[in-house]
Chains A and B, each alone.
Chain A
């Protein structure tokens, strides 16, 4: 069975500081990894994903994540955060894309940006 562990439930940082949100997974088969973001009072939105190819993936708003198979990790990073990045971030894993794909989510990390 697959599982996801997000090591930090809350991460407070100052604006323009770097941030890393940690995610570790367990799976006995090939994995596809996702980061979703949930802004206050909104639904989850896909931030970025790893399906295959380059292990470093990027989002349009400056976040990046690196798939590390040996450490079974998919940490999310941003070199300089903005107030608008305040949200809850969920790491998720799937053993399929398409078809009967289902996601297993971590517990979430609440990112709070202080001015």
Chain B
């Protein structure tokens, strides 16, 4: 089966610009996660969706970050406006259902804000 797809793989923008990342989870996976991984740190959860509803967005900086999962499949994560400290790898992961424990990760999008 195909894995979690993310695009773009790399993005360089200037501060105050906006950027969007796209994630296509594994087919049939109900739960989708967005993580931020700053260099030298472990991934930090930004937002969790169950189908097209938000389960947890407590660590999402909502003044500049937004995410949606229309129709419970693909998801986009947007940053507007970007700051230097947003430079990181943004990881998308999916999990199949309520009884499953394993999260499957995409390759990530590396964002550099200059």
Task: From known contacts A98-B100, A99-B98, A108-B41, infer whether A43 and B33 are also in contact, taking CB-CB under 8 Å.
Answer: no
Q: Does B63 make an interface contact (CB < 8 A)?
A: no
- For B73-111 the 0/1 string (1 means CB < 8 A from A) is 000000000000000000101010111111101111000
Q: Does B42 make an interface contact (CB < 8 A)?
A: yes
B48 near A102: Cβ-Cβ < 8 Å: yes
Q: Is the interface of A mostly helix, strand, loop or mixed?
A: loop
A101 near B95: Cβ-Cβ < 8 Å: yes
Q: Which of B40, B55, B99, B105 contacts A44 (CB 8 A)?
A: B105
Q: Count CB-based A-B contacts (< 8 Å).
A: 62
Note all chain B residues with C-beta closer than 8 A to A105.
Answer: 42-44
Give the residues from 1 to 40 in chain A that come closer than 8 angstroms, CB to CB, to chain B: 4, 6, 9, 32, 36
- For A97-115 the 0/1 string (1 means CB < 8 A from B) is 1111111111110000000
Question: How long is the Cα–Cα vector from A45 to B97 in the complex, in angstroms?
Answer: 18
Note all chain A residues with C-beta closer than 8 A to B91.
Answer: 43-44
Q: Which of A6, A9, A102 contacts B45 (CB 8 A)?
A: A102
Note all chain A residues with C-beta closer than 8 A to B48.
Answer: 100, 102
Q: Is the interface of B mostly helix, strand, loop or mixed?
A: loop
Q: Does B56 make an interface contact (CB < 8 A)?
A: yes
9 A-B pairs besides A42-B107, A97-B100 with CB distance below 8 A are A4-B42, A6-B42, A43-B4, A90-B42, A98-B99, A100-B48, A100-B50, A107-B42, A108-B40
A-B contact pairs, 29 of them (CB 8 A): A4-B42, A32-B101, A41-B107, A42-B107, A43-B3, A43-B4, A43-B105, A43-B106, A44-B93, A49-B101, A49-B102, A90-B43, A92-B42, A97-B101, A98-B97, A98-B98, A98-B100, A98-B101, A100-B48, A100-B50, A100-B55, A101-B101, A102-B48, A102-B56, A105-B44, A107-B42, A108-B40, A108-B41, A108-B42
- A residues with a Cβ closer than 8 A to B are 4, 6, 9, 32, 36, 41-46, 49, 51, 90, 92, 94, 97-108
